[in-house]
């Protein structure tokens, strides 16, 4: 009966979302700045929802390009995020296991994740699991660090991770790739697309399968293999019936079946081999359009999106839990652009945003529950004398389950062109709403707390970016500081807002250099100091994280070699006594991973590639008791036209 109820309500929700998408398309509006500008490497959209040159952004932002993903042979997006300043990745085992990403010391559910403009944080738990996010025709990944609720609403306390897929750029284009290697691993990826003067469409997909190794650390006595099977599809299409009118449609689908081991606590062997697996299906669908008036000075933007996730957990082959969550979102955005040449050589943008989102969830233990949040935001961007760039914004959110909230954000960037330098700073307030589980409960022995209030975070940063040697070397350093109040934590059989503050501060540094023709270097380092309201360090937050990449192109750029070194410093995790269930802290040792990748383009259509992951077979744990990926050898062939 419960499964039928879930399916019936899901059908109604999908119908409502599809009606919203049709309405968005018929209203002749578009995704916030995504349609034309998202593929331009010199602009970003995540910071303001309007395509803006990176040098004019006051917030700390990192862009990972499609070229970098290809050079490093990234197969899972989480692998690329390990290289970003301010980010830390925790995976509970090998490939396909639960994967959390933290920004600047925040919890995983305090950062927002977008796929082509659709929010994909779990409506029930409010944290996105990166385990099934394969790199399939990704154009770029934009990572915005610092409070951003004014722009994107709830959950953007730590920042925003925005995955933007490719659109077709040639009349006809296609790609196919096949690879295999250690642990019975195989992957097949393909895409096909077409574009013309007024249309583009691209469909891509991938299937990944591995026998895997044990999710539990093998050096602690875990020997059972835990495999994973992951399939995904991407769709992006657009049409421009008139010069000032365009429509867009994008979708993403992922299905994964992953095996994992049971955490039982203790110190010596906290994880035991078990017949546990999760079967997860999730998808996004988004329709959008844009109408431009007054010669480009006024944009009207409307979009409607849907995110759906279903999870089936099995123990010994029998279903032990079924859950489903849905998010629907309808957004209107209006951008006004104008210049004041006689006053400070000004270039101005005003943005009005209305964002209505409804989250719903249902599982075996409680009937359908929902949260509705409507946000109203006004934002301003100004450029002066072609060197000073300021932004300011405020947002008010009307919630139907808890107190309404107000957030704000201010940024600034200043170019010292004669010195090849850029100063940037930001300050803001953000919120994370209570989740449906926290409000309404979960299972028979966990009661929700309807009196919960949103978590509130404030943060600021200031940084300097400097170029040297005719722009062949660019280095940057940023200091950040954040405070989070009203943190929601477990208290017996329920949850409460905690008194006090959680704190995080630190330094992010990066460097990019062209050492010689064909030889490039990129590096990043982050120092993070954290403190919970009791004065203890937050768990799974290393003080020191660093990465270094050398990439060499040679033989008329047909050959490419990429060497990556990733260091994660000491940090703590938690376990519990199996008899008393008393919590205890345990140390996680520092580790260094070295990865070697290489490729050779045989001709204009074919390329062979190979890689060695964890070259020196480092033993490491991101989560206590769960071992990281062992040394693996992989090779494959890619064709494109």
- Longest Cα separation, the chain: 75
Q: How far apart are CA 301 and CA 334, in angstroms?
A: 6
The per-residue pLDDT for 69 is 96
Per-residue pLDDT tens over the stretch 558-607: 999 999 999 999 999 999 988 888 889 999 999 999 999 999 999 999 99
To which H or E segment does residue 3 belong?
helix 2-26
Of the listed ranges 14-23, 151-160, 400-409, 465-474, the one predicted with least confidence: 14-23
Give the mean model confidence (pLDDT) for residues 254-259. 95
The per-residue pLDDT for 96 is 87
Q: How many CB atoms lie within 10 A of CB 23?
A: 13
Q: How far apart are CA 474 and CA 453, in angstroms?
A: 43
User: Does 619 have pLDDT greater than 90?
Assistant: yes
Per-residue pLDDT tens over the stretch 494-532: 899 999 999 999 999 999 999 999 999 999 999 999 999
Task: Please work out, in degrees rounded to the nearest 5, the angle formed at the alpha carbon of residue 127 by the alpha carbons of 540 and 494.
Answer: 85
Q: Which residue has the tokens 């992957």?
A: 187
What's the CA dihedral at 578, 581, 582, 587 to 10 degrees?
50
User: Does 434 have pLDDT greater than 80?
Assistant: yes
Q: How far apart are CA 360 and CA 324, in angstroms?
A: 8
Strand partners, 314: 277, 319
User: Does 282 have pLDDT greater than 80?
Assistant: yes
Q: Which two tokens stand for residue 303?
A: 């979009």
Looking at residue 110, the DSSP 8-state letter turns out to be G
Per-residue pLDDT tens over the stretch 33-55: 323 333 334 899 999 999 999 99
Q: Quick one: CA dihedral 412, 387, 469, 62, positive or negative?
A: positive
The per-residue pLDDT for 420 is 94
Q: How far apart are CA 132 and CA 114, in angstroms?
A: 14
Write down the number of H helices and E strands in the chain: 6, 37
The mean predicted confidence, pLDDT, of the chain is: 91
User: Does 626 have pLDDT greater than 90?
Assistant: yes
To which H or E segment does residue 103 belong?
strand 99-103
The per-residue pLDDT for 193 is 97
Q: Which residue has the tokens 């000075």?
A: 297
Per-residue pLDDT tens over the stretch 86-107: 999 999 998 889 999 999 999 9
User: Does 10 have pLDDT greater than 50?
Assistant: no
The bridge status of strand 571-576 relative to strand 583-588 is: antiparallel
Per-residue pLDDT tens over the stretch 378-427: 999 999 999 999 999 999 999 998 889 999 999 999 999 999 999 999 99
Q: How far apart are CA 80 and CA 73, in angstroms?
A: 9
Q: Which residue has the tokens 């206590």?
A: 624
To which H or E segment does residue 143 belong?
strand 138-145
Give the residue from 282, 354, 291, 287 showing the smallest Cα distance to 325. 282
Query: Quick check: 261 and 215 in contact, CB under 8 A?
Result: yes
Which positions ≥6 away from 360 have C-beta within 8 Å? 9, 13, 123, 325, 326, 327, 368, 369, 370, 436
Name the residue with higher pLDDT: 160 or 323.
160
Q: Which two tokens stand for residue 359?
A: 């989250």
Q: Which residue has the tokens 């990572």?
A: 143
The per-residue pLDDT for 493 is 83
User: Does 442 have pLDDT greater than 80?
Assistant: no
Give the mean model confidence (pLDDT) for residues 291-317. 94
The per-residue pLDDT for 36 is 31
End-to-end alpha-carbon separation of the chain, Å? 50
The per-residue pLDDT for 367 is 67
Which positions ≥6 away from 603 have C-beta within 8 Å? none
Q: How far apart are CA 27 and CA 331, in angstroms?
A: 12
Q: Which residue has the tokens 């920042």?
A: 159
Which positions ≥6 away from 295 have C-beta within 8 Å? none
Q: Which two tokens stand for residue 324?
A: 């489903």
DSSP 61-84: EEEEEHHHHHHTT--BHHHHHTTS
Q: Which two tokens stand for residue 424?
A: 């940037």
To which H or E segment does residue 150 belong?
helix 149-152
Burial readout 144-157 (b: 16 or more C-beta within 10 A, e: otherwise): bbbbbbbbbbbbbb
Of the listed ranges 325-339, 350-364, 549-563, the one predicted with least confidence: 350-364
Q: Which residue has the tokens 């990429």?
A: 562
Q: How far apart are CA 41 and CA 39, in angstroms?
A: 6
Q: How far apart are CA 206 and CA 186, in angstroms?
A: 11
Looking at residue 452, the DSSP 8-state letter turns out to be -
The per-residue pLDDT for 42 is 80
The per-residue pLDDT for 443 is 65
Q: How far apart are CA 384 and CA 484, in angstroms?
A: 34
Query: Quick check: 269 and 220 in contact, CB under 8 A?
Result: yes
Give the mean model confidence (pLDDT) for residues 293-309. 96
Give the burial class of 530: count Cβ atoms within 10 A of its Cβ; 0-12 exposed, 13-18 middle, 19 or more buried: buried
Per-residue pLDDT tens over the stretch 124-153: 877 899 999 999 999 999 999 999 999 999
Integer CA distances (angstroms), 624 to 12, 15, 530, in order: 42, 43, 19
Give the residue from 609, 628, 520 showing the smallest Cα distance to 568. 628
Q: Which two tokens stand for residue 429?
A: 């307030």
User: Does 217 have pLDDT greater than 70?
Assistant: yes
Q: CATH: 2.40.170.20, 1.10.443.10, 3.80.10.10, 2.40.50.100. Which one for 2-457? A: 2.40.170.20
Query: Quick check: 219 and 619 in contact, CB under 8 A?
Result: yes
DSSP 529-560: EEE-TTSPPPTT--SEEEEEEEEEEETTTTEE
Strand partners, 278: 258, 313
Return the domain boundaries, the chain. 2-457
Integer CA distances (angstroms), 146 to 112, 157, 159, 307, 316, in order: 11, 7, 5, 24, 43
Integer CA distances (angstroms), 271 to 212, 214, 408, in order: 17, 10, 44
The per-residue pLDDT for 597 is 98
């Amino acid at each position: 009966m419960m499964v039928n109820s879930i399916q019936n309500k899901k059908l109604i929700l999908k119908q409502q979302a599809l009606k919203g998408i049709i309405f968005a398309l018929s209203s002749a509006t578009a995704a916030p700045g995504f349609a034309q500008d998202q593929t331009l490497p010199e602009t970003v959209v995540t910071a303001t929802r309007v395509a803006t040159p990176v040098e004019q952004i006051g917030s700390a932002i990192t862009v990972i390009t499609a070229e970098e993903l290809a050079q490093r042979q990234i197969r899972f997006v989480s692998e690329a995020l390990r290289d970003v300043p301010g980010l830390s990745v925790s995976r509970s085992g090998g490939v396909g296991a639960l994967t959390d990403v933290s920004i600047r010391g925040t919890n995983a559910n305090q950062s927002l994740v977008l796929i082509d403009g659709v929010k994909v944080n779990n409506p029930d738990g409010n944290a996105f699991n990166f385990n099934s996010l394969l790199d399939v025709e990704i154009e770029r990944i934009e990572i915005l660090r610092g409070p951003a609720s004014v722009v994107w609403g709830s959950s953007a306390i730590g920042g925003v991770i925005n995955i933007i897929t490719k659109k077709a750029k040639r009349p006809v284009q296609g790609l196919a790739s096949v690879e295999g290697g250690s642990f019975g691993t195989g992957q097949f990826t393909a895409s096909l697309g077409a574009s013309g003067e007024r249309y583009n469409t691209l469909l891509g997909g991938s299937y990944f399968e591995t026998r895997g190794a044990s999710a539990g650390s093998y050096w602690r006595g875990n020997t059972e293999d835990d495999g994973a099977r992951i399939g995904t599809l991407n769709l992006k299409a657009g049409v421009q019936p008139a010069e000032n009118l365009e429509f867009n449609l994008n979708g993403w689908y992922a299905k994964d079946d992953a095996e994992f081991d049971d955490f039982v606590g203790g110190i010596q062997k906290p994880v035991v081999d078990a017949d546990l697996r999760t079967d997860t299906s999730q998808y996004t669908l988004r329709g959008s359009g844009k109408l431009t008036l007054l010669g480009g000075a006024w944009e009207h933007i409307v979009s409607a999106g849907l995110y759906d996730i279903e999870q089936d957990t099995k123990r010994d082959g029998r279903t032990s839990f079924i859950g489903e969550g849905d998010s629907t979102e309808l957004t209107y955005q209006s951008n006004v652009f104008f210049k004041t040449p006689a006053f400070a050589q000004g270039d101005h943008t005003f943005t009005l945003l209305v964002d209505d989102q409804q989250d719903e969830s249902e599982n075996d233990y409680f009937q359908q529950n929902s949260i509705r949040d409507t946000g109203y935001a006004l934002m301003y961007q100004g450029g002066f004398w072609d060197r000073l760039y300021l932004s300011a914004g405020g947002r008010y959110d009307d919630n139907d389950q808890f107190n309404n909230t107000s957030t704000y954000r201010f940024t600034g960037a200043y170019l010292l062109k004669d010195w090849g330098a850029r100063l940037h700073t930001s300050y803001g307030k953000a919120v994370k709403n209570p989740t449906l589980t926290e409000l309404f409960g979960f299972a028979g022995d966990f009661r929700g707390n309807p009196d919960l209030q949103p978590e509130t975070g404030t943060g600021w940063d200031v940084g300097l970016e400097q170029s040297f040697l005719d722009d062949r070397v660019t280095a940057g350093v940023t200091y950040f500081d954040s405070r989070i109040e009203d943190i929601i934590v477990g208290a017996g059989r329920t949850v409460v807002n905690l008194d006090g503050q959680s704190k995080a501060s630190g330094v992010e540094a990066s460097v990019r250099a062209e050492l010689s023709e064909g030889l490039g270097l990129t590096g990043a380092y982050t120092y993070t100091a954290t403190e919970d309201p009791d004065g203890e360090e937050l768990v799974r937050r290393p003080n020191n994280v660093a990465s270094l990449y050398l990439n060499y192109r040679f033989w008329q750029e047909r050959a490419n070699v990429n060497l990556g070194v990733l260091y994660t410093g000491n940090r703590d995790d938690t376990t519990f006594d199996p008899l008393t269930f008393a919590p205890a802290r345990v140390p996680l040792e520092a580790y260094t991973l070295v990865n070697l990748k290489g490729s050779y383009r045989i001709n204009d259509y074919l390329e062979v590639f190979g890689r060695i992951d964890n070259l020196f077979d480092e033993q490491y744990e991101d989560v206590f008791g769960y071992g990281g990926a062992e040394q693996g050898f992989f090779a494959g062939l890619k064709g494109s036209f």
